[in-house]
Amino acid sequence: MNCEKARDRMLAALGTAGGLDALEDEVERHVESCEDCSAERRFLVSLCAAMRRASAAKAPPDLRRRVREGASRLLAEEEARAWADLGRWERVRATLAYFADRARRSRIAAAAAVLLLAQAALVGISWLQDRTADRAPPARPGLHARSPESAGEPRRAPAEPASSEGSSGSPGSALADGPGVEPPDEPLRIDGIGEEDTLLAEAETGPPPVSEIRRLGLENRRQRIRYRMRGRFLPPEDSPSARAVHRAHRFLVALQREDGAVDPTYAGGGKEGTTAATALAVLAWLSDARSGRPGGVHARAVERSVRYLRRQVRPDRQVGWVRGDSELELFQHAAATAALVEYAVLTDRLSDPLAADVLERLVDLARSRQTSDGAGPDVVGSWVAFALELGRSSGLEVPFDLDAPAAAVRRSLLAERPPGALGLGPLLGRECDAALDALGGRRRESVRRDPGGLLAFLRRASLREPTLVLFTTLDLHARGGPLFERWRQELEGVLLESQRDDGSWPLEFVWDDVQVALGDVYPTAVFSMALQVPRRWSR
Amino acid sequence: MDRDEGEWLIRFREGDLEAFDRLVDAYQRRFLGFFRSLGADPETAEDLTQETFLRIFGARETYTPDAPFRTFAFRIARNLWIDRYRSRRARPAERSLEDEGAEEWESEARSPDEQVAGDEEIELLVEAIRRLPPKHREVLSLIVGQGLSYPEVARILDIPLGTVKSRVHAAVRLLRGRWENERRRASRARRGREGGSS
């Protein structure tokens, strides 16, 4: 036993039940015989005492009562929500079950019958009201009470200094769009792309049929890739959702520094998140036809940020700072890769060697992190998968098998439903499993049979994890159908209602260093991407 | 509470307020102490503790009884602290360990009478703990203050176990350096007083 080992063991003992009083005999002997180590132990004992003093607190007598009252309120709200979520006949069944139970216990069957009849009458009235409402213009469903703004009325304009986008690069200078803030009326023209490309930009999604390929002259591979990668990119629309996206993009522009970096420290994040924030902002801007694409109102902001990202590529092809053990480090590289690839595709620079380089580096990183069973990607892993699929869809070489985690998802949850076109099932599957575990028991089985139950869970979790929202939206969009429509409407309702006046969304929950570093840039960029999914991505 | 904890937690998950009360009794002082050691004033610590319990109650369905409750609970408490920390917007610049040199510590003049030993040394350490960078302070608070194990803290903070160890190591090294400085200064001051009086 030497001094170094003895001190390590003493530090380790701080995290054990016995603490410094339960040192191993070997360590104890050494400490007693060594003056330095003995002093170290005295210091650690003092440290424990100091920490006890720093943590000293007396519980106020009414804390328990206050917590109890708060919990009771929460419980009542949950029950009210659960009741509201029940269908008409489920309410009748629940009421029957309740009174049957009461009658059994207290033998007041007559009273129960009266109340049951009253309930039936209420249900009847509710049914009649529904019939009446069906004839009125349909109200958009939402999770919460709708504000006038989210029902389509314009929100109060965010206060912004009236400077032009390029006039200042200082963070927080609120680079406004000036007169161009409102969506342009004319369809977007793409610089450097001819008539054929404009047709492509306006084209609908899906693999182009042979006749379309001939008509548009999509004879070579690159043209077809561009056709697919542009997705829909429908002409600008003037909807509450589009306005929300635009406000979010302006918020991100306002955070841009002179050097092109998007600075998250002005949005509650840390400077270590600058590269990742810049990458997310670029992805967000590029997701909007009228915003980030060449010729869009934020095109210059995109150019500046892309130049910044390119400057962050190190000689070993990794983007940003490197510490070796950080989730944020991997996240920033994945997000930057996705941003550079997306930009290369949209500006017809697929031959850009830098995009291929960072993608190759991402493959190395992904391989080094993949678990032995091929599954288990977390939120950051899902961004890795996203960037890899983006690269692959762009026609770049991506020697990485994403099928293994996707297959695990298929097996575990959605056997009859293939994962989405982007292979983003791993995230959805993992979260679904967590959701199902949380729901537990028979409800788990019912959720397996009924994806509507899944929707209910995701709605509850939506604002807490923007990445989950984005990839779920992508996945459900790829599946299409009424399920996606329901999801989209719910999502718009929630997001439009929770958006701040300055265009940002608040960070609701912190899971790891990524959210800490990115602050409100994270939900703002990712939610705006989620709102754009139906317009940006093909099925 | 280990013996009954499993049963309480199952009842707590089902929304049993009585079981929740018992959890409040068992954890309220711990949360208060946790927030105090992170630098919250008593009123803020009380608010945060109340809010933590309500968040725990709201998230009870996501808790699985096969996992340690305290990990689940402290994770929520820590996230709440970060939220509160973030809501101040003007985030204080985090000082690196290198920035925390002895000079800064020595510049804080204290009278020799305050620098004797025992209780005052503990006070100095308390102050030094409060001046640690947040990442190091929270690790120390959870391990030394709350008696959590290294793996539990790694799970709560969602960082690798090795990172927890290195943060503890760095925090202790920093505090030790300051402690030694103060002791030396106290010793010099005592010698000076003795020389002056003879």
DSSP letter string over A449-464? Answer: H-HHHHHHHHHHHGGG
Helix boundaries (H) for A161-293? 195-202, 210-216, 221-230, 240-254, 274-286
Q: Which residue in the set A19, A59, A438 is minimally distant from B32, CB to CB?
A: A59
What average pLDDT does the segment A48-74 reach? 82
Cβ(B63)–Cβ(B99) below 8 Å? no
* Minimal C-alpha gap between B198 and chain A (Å): 31
Q: What is the pLDDT of residues A368-386, one digit of tens each?
A: 766 544 444 456 767 877 7
Of the candidates A533, A285, A269, A271, the residue with the CA atom closest to the CA atom of residue A424: A533
Q: Which residues of chain B make contact with A507, given a CB cutoff of 8 A?
A: 83, 86
Q: What is the pLDDT of residues A116-173, one digit of tens each?
A: 777 777 767 656 655 544 433 333 222 222 233 333 333 333 333 333 333 333 333 3
Could you tell me the two tokens for A474? 């992508």
Q: Which of B24, B30, B123 to mutate to test the interface with A (most CBs of A within 10 A)?
A: B24
Cβ of residue A45 closer than 8 Å to a chain B Cβ: no
**pLDDT higher than 60, residue A176:** no
Of the candidates A239, A242, A235, A194, the residue with the CA atom closest to the CA atom of residue A217: A194
State how far the Cα of A511 lies from the Cα of B75, in Å rounded to an integer. 9
- Position A274 scores a pLDDT of 93
Cβ(A313)–Cβ(A354) below 8 Å? yes
State how far the Cα of A173 lies from the Cα of A159, in Å rounded to an integer. 11
State how far the Cα of B64 lies from the Cα of B106, in Å rounded to an integer. 49
Could you tell me the two tokens for B72? 């689940």
Q: What is the pLDDT of residues B70-124, one digit of tens each?
A: 888 898 999 888 877 765 543 333 333 333 333 333 333 333 333 334 677 788 7
Helix (H, G, I), strand (E, B) or coil at A163: strand
Of the candidates B74, B197, B173, B12, the residue with the CA atom closest to the CA atom of residue A47: B173
Q: What is the pLDDT of residues A237-280, one digit of tens each?
A: 678 888 899 889 888 988 888 889 998 988 888 888 999 999 99
Cβ(A258)–Cβ(A252) below 8 Å? no
- Position A193 scores a pLDDT of 30
Average pLDDT, chain A: 66
- Position A458 scores a pLDDT of 54
- Position B91 scores a pLDDT of 38
**pLDDT higher than 80, residue A477:** no
Q: How many whole angstroms from its chain centre is CA A25?
A: 51
Q: DSSP class of residue B14?
A: T
The H or E element containing residue B188 is: helix B161-197
Average pLDDT, chain B: 74
Across the interface, do A11 and B91 touch by the CB < 8 Å criterion? no
Could you tell me the two tokens for A148? 């006038």
- Minimum mean pLDDT range among A200-214, A391-405, A503-517, B2-16: A200-214
Go through chain A and tell me how many residues it has.
539
- Position A281 scores a pLDDT of 95
Across the interface, do B34 and A55 touch by the CB < 8 Å criterion? yes
State how far the Cα of A243 lies from the Cα of A533, in Å rounded to an integer. 15
Across the interface, do B130 and A265 touch by the CB < 8 Å criterion? no
Q: Which residues of chain A make contact with B145, given a CB cutoff of 8 A?
A: 51-52, 54-55
- Position A60 scores a pLDDT of 80
- Quickly count: other Cβ atoms within 10 Å of residue A330's Cβ: 22
| A319 strand-pairing partners | A313
Cβ of residue A502 closer than 8 Å to a chain B Cβ: no
Share of chain A above pLDDT 70, in %: 52
- Position A452 scores a pLDDT of 54
The H or E element containing residue B21 is: helix B17-37
- Position A180 scores a pLDDT of 30
Q: What is the pLDDT of residues A418-462, one digit of tens each?
A: 332 223 333 444 444 444 444 333 344 444 444 555 555 555 555
Q: Which of B37, B43, B71, B143 to mutate to test the interface with A (most CBs of A within 10 A)?
A: B37
- Minimum mean pLDDT range among A48-52, A228-232, A257-261, A321-325: A228-232
**pLDDT higher than 90, residue A343:** no
- Position B95 scores a pLDDT of 38
Share of chain A above pLDDT 90, in %: 9
Cβ of residue A82 closer than 8 Å to a chain B Cβ: no
State how far the Cα of B149 lies from the Cα of B138, in Å rounded to an integer. 13
User: Chain B residue closest to A271 (CA)?
Assistant: B93
Residue type, B60: R
Cβ of residue A511 closer than 8 Å to a chain B Cβ: yes
Residue A533 CB burial class (10 angstroms; 0-12, 13-18, ≥19): buried
Q: DSSP class of residue B95?
A: P
Interface confidence (ipTM) of the complex: 0.79
Q: How many whole angstroms from its chain centre is CA A240?
A: 20
Q: What is the pLDDT of residues B27-44, one digit of tens each?
A: 888 899 998 888 888 888
Say if pTM beats, i.e. exceeds, 0.80.
Answer: no
Largest CA distance in chain B: 75
Q: Which residues of chain A make contact with B75, given a CB cutoff of 8 A?
A: none
